[in-house]
Every structure is written in structure tokens, then in C-alpha cells.
Amino acid sequence: MLIIEKKYIERDLPPPRVSISSRQSYSFPFIQLCSVLPFVHLFLEISFFSCITTFSLHPQATTKMKHFSTLVAGVLASLTVIEGHPTSLSGKQYSVQQVQNPHYKRDGLRALAKAYRKYGVTLPESLSTSKQSGKNRRAADATGSAITLPVDNDAEWLTPVQIGNPPKTFQMDFDTGSSDLWVYGPNAAALGGGQTEYIAADSNTSKELSGASFQIQYGDSSAAAGHVVQDQVSIGGLAVSAQAVEVADEVTQSFVEQSNLDGLVGLAFSSINTVQPQQQTTFFDSANSEHGTSLFTADLQQDAPGTYNFGFVNQSAFTGNLTFTAVDSSQGFWAFNSTGFAVGSDALSQTPITGIADTGTTLLLLPADVNEAYYSQVEGAQLDQSAGGFIFPCDSELPDFSFGVEDAAITIPGSFMNFTSLQTTSAVVVSRRRKSTGPTSAKSSGGFAASAASSMCFGGLQSSEDVGINIFGDIALKSAFVVFDGGNSQIGFAKKPLPAASA
């Protein structure tokens, strides 16, 4: 069933909140309803004009006619609203499944550093020092041509994308927090990282965008730059004939170890695309213009490949209701207001949190007081600057974490909140194994030295204070079925079956 609040219908505004039930109670598929609507309209019109003739023969014809007109108008208006939210927008369904990156290394410190770099924030000295001292340390002054993502093998799941004609497959990272579609050029791939390189001359549909270039500068002074072409790009069968493809020619050496990632597909709004002198549209916006696919969905999974769909909503992928809330795209992101949060079985607090939905950020980054509220319920949890954030004994029981979407709540299982064990071997200071009254600083807590960092784990929730933006990253998005509805400037969340996290 489709439920839309009446006040938005009367004001003729796009409803910022819609609930679509996934229960299989339809007498026929939703798309079939759309196909019979013209016949329903015709029937009502015939009935309407028949009534005109009938009513004209009776004294109370005028009054009855007004009542019937209101009824017909109401039914037609309802049908129009239903047509506005079909299961498939273009009549076709485009779907693509992720594949696992065999070189992925889960590392909390690097995941946090990625968010800093991505949003142009200089790494704190403690975070930068910790990262440099890890086993993957590289010479800071090395330069060359390499991949443009800011950390080593941080994309766990990649998505196949076909570019050019004949098509060539690239394993790409889908990122709703940026708006550039980039790949390796021959110069960038020459370092031998094993990435697939894009060569415009190999495609008979490529066209150089004369004078167009791009440059991405990260907060730690790492950068990528190159030229731009137009070429055919296809994702899950959804083909865009002349998509802007940014070809990386020069990037800093620090990114070379991304050995299985061939590029990135930005799915934020086109207003933050970095191509100069004229910005280019994202793949999503280009596909919408060409095919009318004004929404896409992300069904990401924990420890399993997820699925992206374009132009339709797979109602069998979620349970209960799909709840939408308005998106503020003024900064180019999928920004929305969460109505509150809860730890464990507590009721949602009335604490609004404005953040962005970002599939390109691994962690859940929220205000410091939200972190404190959560980790105060985790035995042995503490803020450790050398580790990069909140850590806790790996055998601690983690409570669930919920965030509000309008009057609904999306719950992240506690098992998802344990991101990974620490990957260093240095001893850390932990509090005594007791129920904490609140998280403490590792430097100030009166505790004892733990045996090895491998017994400590890094939390999936960390502070957004230094980053300057709240981010609902993959930790949150894997816990829900998410609809990115660009046509109505809204984002929708629904609950879905969640498998237990692997041990």
C-alpha cells in the first residue's frame, strides 16, 4: 500500500515523507496498476458524463452533480499520486551487484584518515603519525602516477562498470559523497599496481573534451589531475551515450597500493563535480536525462556483495515501510535530518542530527556527545588518540545503535559497530574490565597495559568533530535499504533482513 500524508497532496508539493509497504498483499503488481490507469480514467469519464445526462432530469441535479464531481476528482487525484511513485520509473529495471576486492584490508585508522582526506581536512598530528608508523608506511616525499583514492585498499566491495565501445570492464567504487567519474590513464597505470587503464583510442565512441581538465586536492596535500573525455558508460545495462570520464594522468605516489580498484563513480549531485572550465553531470544525472531513471537504490550488505538498482525499487528487498525525508542538496551532498538516536533499547532522543548519506565513507561519523552516549555503554571503551578513535576489548558486548528518519527508526546491530581489531602490535592502555560510567581518554585513564592491540577493537562509530560533517557511512547504510530519489529531492530508508556478522 502507498500512504502519503494528505496535507502534501492538498498543497500540491512533492511529499517529503512517503511510506511504501513491502508486504505482499497486492492483488496485482504495482506496475500492472499503472498499466490499467488509463482504462480507469476512461471509465470514470464515461460515468461522469452519463451522470450529467441523468442528473439533468432531476430537481436535485446540481447538488448531486457537485458531490459526484468531488468524488471523481478525489479518485483521479489519488491515482495521479500513485502514478508518481511507481516501482519502475522508465519501464526497465537496471541492476548491478558488487564484487569483493581481494586486496581489501580492514583498518580503522585508515578508514578514518580516508574521511579526513576526502573532505579536505588536514589529518591531526596524532592520526598522521600513527598512520605513518604502521606496517604500510611509505616515503612521504615519493611522487608519481597512481590511484586517486586516499588510502590503501579501503574499498571492500567494488562494482563492475563498462566503458567504451567495444566495452571494457572496470572495477569501480560507487560513492554518493562525490561527483566525479574517474579512471586510470596509461600514465597513472604505469606504476604497475595492476589497475585497468582507460585508453581513449581503443574506443570508437570516445571524444576528447577540448580544454577540459580535473584536479582533486585532498587535505593531506595528495592530489590527482588529468584530462576529460566523453564515452559510453554502462552500469547494469543502463547505458549513457556520452558520459564525462575523467582520466587520471598524474597523482601522488601515496595511492599506488590500491591494486584492484580501477576508479570511482561519483553519485552525489553534479554541482560539486570538479571538471573545469565547465562542470560535467554525474552518471546518475546523465542517465536520468537520457532514460528517466530519477532514483537509484543501495542495498549494501555486511560481509556480502550488495546491489545497486537504477530506476526502480525492489520491494522484496525490504520489510515494513519505506520512509522518505527531504534532502538538502545545496552543498552537493545527500544531506538529510535524522530525528534522533538511541543506544540499545532506549527510546529515540529528540536530538536532530544533520548528516549526509555517503557510500564512499566506511565509518559512521557523528557528534562527540553521540559517541560518548554510545561508548559509555560499552565495557572497557575509551578514546585512544594513538589508535585514532574509540577502542574497546574485542570481547565486549556492543549495544545496537538506532537513528531516526522522520517517525521511523533504523537500527544498526551491535555486531556491525565492531569495525575491526587493531592492526598494530604495540601495547595500549585499557580500563579495568568493569562497566564504564563513561568513555575515558587512553592517556588519562588509570588502567593497566593490555597484552596486545589485537585484543582491542576499533569502533564503527567515531567522532565527526574534526571532519566538520556528520556522515552516515557504510556502517549505517548496510543496516537499511536506501532509496536516493533525485527526482523528488528525498532519501528513503527501510528495514531489511540482516544476517549475523561474521566472527
- The residue among 333, 319, 387, 338 whose CA lies nearest residue 361 is 333
Cα 47–Cα 53–Cα 55 angle in degrees, nearest 5 = 90
Q: How far is CA 425 from CA 209, 251, 382, 387, 454, in A?
A: 50, 32, 18, 11, 7
Residue with cell 537504490: 297
396 C-beta neighbours (distance < 10 Å), count: 18
Rounded CA gap, 303 and 241, in Å? 34
Asked if 431 contacts 445 with a C-beta cutoff of 8 angstroms, the reply is yes
Give a three-class secondary structure readout of 269-327.
CHHHCCCECCCCCCHHHHHHHHHCCCEEEEECCCCCCCEEEECECCHHHCEEEEEEEEC
| β-strand partners of 459 | 418
Please name the amino acid found at residue 94: Y
Asked if 377 contacts 344 with a C-beta cutoff of 8 angstroms, the reply is yes
Which residues are annotated as catalytic?
175, 358
Residue with cell 601495547: 427
Asked if 156 contacts 106 with a C-beta cutoff of 8 angstroms, the reply is yes
C-alpha Rg value of the chain to the nearest Å: 26
Cis preceding linkage at 499, omega within 30: no
Please name the amino acid found at residue 123: L
116 C-beta neighbours (distance < 10 Å), count: 23
Rounded CA gap, 167 and 234, in Å? 9
C-alpha grid cell for residue 389? 578513535
Q: Where are the beta strands (DSSP E) in 119-206?
A: 157-163, 168-175, 181-184
